Homo-oligomer: A and B are copies of this chain.
């Protein structure tokens, strides 16, 4: 564990002691939260009920802290298959409204990606399990752990009967992994109400680039998610009875998906790189200064070899170049075994991570034109339909805002080091949303280590990160208050 470089103030020391003394209790609460299968990705009524349960539990927790809590009802959403599913409420909460203090609003999400034991988890994904200081469970790092760390920090001040150095607001949602349905509308509606008194917005929904060294994030890539359907008929075929006389939808789809990206990761869609912001010398310097041990990163990622051999190239391909990933196929044979089926209708799924200054509707047009051209060349009798089902902008912040300075100081106090100034290859669309709509300063202050495995099997958060994270947030409140006074 790293030591603090300068001793914390008397109050902060007390808060740190409180957090250390109560760490088992904090882990227990995280365990209760992880136990709820709040999966927003699979559109299933049972899981939506779990999401509602998660939101209610959280609202109660915030009320217990003394916050004023509103659970905003968001109605329901119509799924492509016609079913209607209720959307979990968004929680708006506030604690303190002293006009002399800065007001910082914390955004977090309580939904998770799908997880099943037999996906390859070593422990039950919904039973938080500690092994060697690592807390394994779905949502442990994305994003239940960080949300609780913030609550723990606030709770420590309250438990010690200490005045909070800042006014605190919360906006917590349950649909982040499914594209933050209805969030944008709510932010717009609350722009001049809930957000009018907010000075800073903090998001803690990404990871460090290191296993040990903290980071501050000032940019994220966007994402646009495509579905390409190829259909011969609704029913499947027997491959003996029809094999040889059909344009098989899987053959068409594989050709379409195979036309998207080459083996070096280069996207083959014409024009896709045209809008990308030019690379500056200043940027190059920043990449050079970022602390990343490429071999160590490769090893900790359990990857034989990345596509690039230098730290700078790697970071640029994660942060400032677009990437295209093929996620899978719906409608084909996906079970173990040897089914001899010709799927009648298949949907390929892929997405493109966007960087400044790529424009969503231009990318959508380029992708559709490209796929239509490839499909036309095949002279297939099947029907193809392409749709962009999610479109999320990239985001970049001004790293000279006060809260970035406060966060740097808090990191120095708690971890004894200066943070890596990083971007994030993944998409946290609300960063961009908050920035665009509220015009407030938005910062991402991650707690999780690079090997936490969000979205993957065996997701975890280190107990150390979770507990030090609570301290970091407490220190951040004080630094921000000092900068304001």
Contacts and interface: CB of A to CB of B under 8 A. Distances in A.
A263 interface: yes
A132 interface: no
A400 interface: no
A193 interface: no
A136 to B, nearest CB: 12
Secondary structure at the A interface, as helix, strand, loop or mixed, is: loop
Nearest to A427: B240
Interface in A253-274: 254-255, 257-258, 260-261, 263, 265
Given A258-B254, A307-B245, A235 B337 contact: no
A317 to B, nearest CB: 4
Nearest to A341: B327
A182 interface: no
Nearest to A231: B304
Interface in A330-381: 330, 332-344, 349, 351, 353, 378-381
A263 B235 contact: no
A147 B254 CA distance: 39
Contacts of A455: 236-239, 241, 339-341
Given A304-B382, A339-B113, A457-B236, A334 B330 contact: yes
Chain B CB count within 10 A is highest, among A306, A321, A378, for: A306
Nearest to A250: B326
Nearest to A324: B243
A225 to B, nearest CB: 5
Contacts of A74: none
A395 to B, nearest CB: 12
A319 to B, nearest CB: 9
B258 A327 contact: no
A434 to B, nearest CB: 18
A453 B424 CA distance: 50
A227 to B, nearest CB: 8
A186 interface: no
A33 B338 CA distance: 24
A129 interface: no
Interface in A416-453: 424-427, 453
Given A235-B456, A250-B328, A455-B236, A241 B338 contact: no
A378 B305 CA distance: 14
Contacts of A242: 301, 318, 425
A376 to B, nearest CB: 11
Interface in A136-180: 178-179
A41 B338 contact: yes
A225 B304 CA distance: 29
Contacts of A263: 247, 251-252, 255, 378-380
**Tier of interface size on chain A:** 35 or more
Contact of A340 (B232, B245, B327): B327
A259 to B, nearest CB: 9
A239 B41 contact: no
A185 interface: no
Given A303-B246, A326-B250, A81 B336 contact: yes
A234 interface: yes
Contacts of A41: 335, 337-339
A223 to B, nearest CB: 7
B246 A338 contact: no
B456 A238 contact: yes
A261 B303 CA distance: 31
A356 B353 CA distance: 49
Given A248-B326, A342-B325, A353 B427 contact: no
A42 interface: yes
22 contacts: A81-B336, A207-B241, A233-B301, A235-B456, A239-B327, A240-B353, A242-B318, A242-B425, A243-B325, A244-B353, A246-B306, A247-B263, A250-B327, A251-B326, A254-B254, A254-B258, A255-B258, A263-B380, A307-B381, A328-B343, A339-B349, A340-B351
Given A235-B457, A327-B341, 6 more contacts: A42-B337, A221-B240, A236-B456, A250-B325, A254-B257, A338-B390
Interface of A: 41-43, 80-81, 113-114, 119-120, 178-179, 207, 220-221, 223, 225, 232-248, 250-252, 254-255, 257-258, 260-261, 263, 265, 301-308, 314, 317-318, 321-330, 332-344, 349, 351, 353, 378-383, 389-390, 424-427, 453-458
Closest 3 CB pairs of A and B: A240-B426, A244-B323, A328-B333
